[in-house]
Structure 1
Amino acid sequence: MTQHHASSIPDEAEALQGRTAGLVSRAIAAVIDATVVSAVLLGIYVSIAGAFFVWNPRSFHFPDWSGIVTLTTAWFVATSYLTVGWWTAGRTCGCTVMGLRVVGHRDRDLRFAQALVRAVVCTLFPLGLVWCALDVRSRAVHDLVVRSRVVYDWRHREP
């Protein structure tokens, strides 16, 4: 008796498994990730404002941060989010939604240093993503720097 494996992955998606992802999929994942980072930043701001309110409700006013504080905080949160996602799971929330995984040389998981450098380059030069539309192997600037690539990967991997 033969066993049949039922897959929740459509045949069209199964055919793309392991292939390098292009600009559109990666851009959508980046927008989702930017939304997650924005939500975290909003949560941080509301938490700090709430702490100020609890500390002294009579003279409460919303914190008025300078642009440099806001940009530095946003950069730190985004870099941390991307680094941890790529290092631990090979994907962020945006990558998960789009069925993408970031892999290193020879399709291995990224090491911490690679994930960190990739995240720093991504956050300092976000337009580097556009380069994957021009590259023959669909690599963005940050992929070229750390020798990574983004592939379609819908399958569950055992740790």
Structure 2
Amino acid sequence: MVPREAQPYQGRRAGLITRSVAGVIDAVVVVVVVLAGYVGVNGLMFLLDPRGFQFSEASPVPGVATASLVAVVYLCVAWSMTGRTYGCHVMGLRVVGRRGERVRPLVALLRAVFYVVFPLGLLLCAGGRRHASVQDLVLRTSVIYDW
């Protein structure tokens, strides 16, 4: 059921602000997952050797690489299965293909890699009627309002 206030926007392309807020929410989800993994690994190490336990060092390069990998997997799975991540769900958005269909897994994977490697591509959707990011232009996808 679409809220009355949202009905005029249903199916229209989403703009920069809405997509950015969804992206921030998704980034928080990724950070929480990575931190939970870090705590889980250290908890397992503690259970295996409580006397000799020390927290593993969290260095930046492996941390960023792990977070990037988690983000790509999270985005790819969400976009290919339902067309929306948790951030998209909260903001009432859906990623669709050029004909309005759910994106295929390969397109979702390429879009996720593009999204993580080149996040500034989102800024392009601020201009123009199409509200298309670089990722949308290259892969022929769209982000629409879909409650």
- TM-score by length of structure 2 reads 0.96
Q: Which has the higher contact order (CA 8 A, sep 6+)?
A: 2
Deviation at 1:12, TM superposition (A): 2.1
**What are the equivalent positions in structure 2 for 1:2-21 lying under 5 Å apart?**
7=1, 9-21=2-14
What is the CA–CA distance in structure 1 between the aligned matches of 2:128 and 2:33, rounded to whole Å? Answer: 33
Residue 71 of structure 2 is matched in structure 1 by: 78
**Which structure 2 residue ranges, 5 or more long, are not aligned?**
none
What is the CA–CA distance in structure 1 between the aligned matches of 2:50 and 2:134, rounded to whole Å? Answer: 48
Deviation at 1:59, TM superposition (A): 1.6
Alignment equivalent of 1:97, drawn from 90, 101, 116: 90
Give the counterpart letter for 1:129 in structure 2.
Answer: L
* Alignment CA distance shift 1:135-1:120 (3 Å): farther
What is the CA–CA distance in structure 2 between the aligned matches of 1:144 and 1:122, rounded to whole Å? Answer: 12
**Which structure 1 residue ranges, 5 or more long, are not aligned?**
1-6, 155-159
Deviation at 1:80, TM superposition (A): 0.2
Deviation at 1:66, TM superposition (A): 2.8
Task: Report whether the alignment pairs 1:123 with 2:105.
Answer: no
Divergent runs of 4+, >3 A: none
Which structure: larger Rg?
1
Deviation at 1:118, TM superposition (A): 0.3
SS at match of 1:18: coil
Residue 157 of structure 1 is matched in structure 2 by: none
Task: Give the total of aligned pairs.
Answer: 147
Give the counterpart letter for 1:73 in structure 2.
Answer: T
Deviation at 1:65, TM superposition (A): 3.2
- TM-score by length of structure 1 reads 0.89
Deviation at 1:34, TM superposition (A): 0.5
Residue 127 of structure 2 is matched in structure 1 by: 134
Task: Report whether the alignment pairs 1:109 with 2:95.
Answer: no
Deviation at 1:14, TM superposition (A): 0.8
Q: Percent identity?
A: 50
